[in-house]
Amino acid sequence: MPDPNPLEKILDEWLVSCTRKGKISRNTIAIGIVILDRLRSESPLNKSEVLSSGGEITGSRAGLYKILAKYGLPEKYLKEVTTRQAPQDGQRLLASLDYGGVFEKLSRKQRDQALRQAIQKLQARAREWLARQHLKIPCDRQNSPANWVHSILEEAKGRSGGKVEQHLVGAKLEQRHPNITIPNHPGHAADIPTSRSGDFRVGDACYHVTASPTLSLLKKAMSNLVSGLFPILLVPSSQVAKAKHLAEAQGIDTRVEVFAIEDFLAQNIIEMSDGRQQDFAATLKSIIEKYNRRLEEVETDMSLRIELQ
């Protein structure tokens, strides 16, 4: 008698193979759901129809949100599969399943039951991600505004990918310049492909925000100088020395400004609080409200929302 669920072991082994640094990417979970959903309607699959010439899994971009919605997962989980690793993970899953050939001896009902159970396992993984707690930051009024910002960046380490830093600066600039439209881009949107001079531009000032400065960032700053713009590099305090060293190596250390994000926000919290005759915590709260709104507008990872305590 054929195994009523040959997929269970295959899926478990595949999930283990896709675990990197103790985690499984949302992109990989989404690829798995796309493949298993496709097998529910057609099995075995034709390799040329399920894989593009570039190796991408069909349905993992434009049609992803519809497939996720079919299984009760909101669009904010993932709008489209974007990582390089996910298509490779998907190809390995398809190969392990012999493109559906493992179900050859099962009835259509048995196959569908096995696939639904597998999808439920991936759904559970997705819901675990969606249920992750927000960044909860203590706002001790005895501490300085720079310390508050430092606490946020420390809490976001390993989760942010630079998004928290970018949207904090965007929120601060929006608060500081209420009559100027401060652009809001996803944290993964690269400057060069979108023809952006940097993350934010106010007048001739071009702000570059990063959790870890790189040579490519400094080359972008050099390009800004040629265009007549004034680059301002904003990095965590622990990365200031590295950013200055890179600027010096490129010979532009006297032509750019490098600020710690903690100091950049703290100075403005103090100045705006004085101007509005309100305490520092109230000003920080206003910036965080703008941060959360900007995050919701362009990102999918709502665990990066900030709650002040």
* Residue 163: domain span: 135-308
Quick check: is 276 in a domain?
A: yes
Position 237 pLDDT exceeds 80: yes
Q: pLDDT value at position 84? A: 83
CB of 61 closer than 8 Å to CB of 80: yes
Position 192 pLDDT exceeds 80: no
Quick check: is 57 in a domain?
A: yes
- Burial label for 16, CB within 10 Å (0-12, 13-18, 19+), is exposed
Q: What is the pTM of this model?
A: 0.66
Angle of the 145-156 helix axis to the 163-176 helix axis, nearest 10: 150
* Whether residues 161 and 183 fall in one domain: yes
Position 191 pLDDT exceeds 50: no
Cβ–Cβ contacts within 10 Å for residue 6, how many? 18
CB of 263 closer than 8 Å to CB of 237: yes
Mean pLDDT of 215-220: 92
* Whether residues 108 and 173 fall in one domain: no
Quick check: is 188 in a domain?
A: yes
Closest CA to 171 of 199, 150, 143: 199
Q: pLDDT value at position 188? A: 60
> 13-38 pLDDT, tens per residue?
999 999 988 889 999 999 999 999 99
Quick check: is 1 in a domain?
A: no
End residue of a domain, out of 85, 102, 130: 130
* Whether residues 106 and 158 fall in one domain: no
Position 70 pLDDT exceeds 80: yes
Q: pLDDT value at position 196? A: 59
CB of 83 closer than 8 Å to CB of 22: no
Closest CA to 231 of 193, 196, 266, 183: 196
* Whether residues 247 and 223 fall in one domain: yes
For the chain, how many structural domains are there in total? 2
Q: pLDDT value at position 82? A: 80
Q: pLDDT value at position 193? A: 40
**Rg of the chain taking only CA atoms, in angstroms:** 24
Confidence at 189, pLDDT banded by 50, 70, 90: very low
Q: pLDDT value at position 81? A: 84
> 120-171 pLDDT, tens per residue?
999 999 988 887 778 888 888 889 999 999 999 988 887 777 899 999 999 9
Mean pLDDT of 38-60: 86
Tokens of 218: 């400094």
* Whether residues 297 and 161 fall in one domain: yes
Closest CA to 78 of 30, 37, 138, 146: 30
Confidence at 74, pLDDT banded by 50, 70, 90: confident
End residue of a domain, out of 130, 158, 177: 130
* Whether residues 158 and 272 fall in one domain: yes
Confidence at 264, pLDDT banded by 50, 70, 90: very high
* Whether residues 300 and 169 fall in one domain: yes
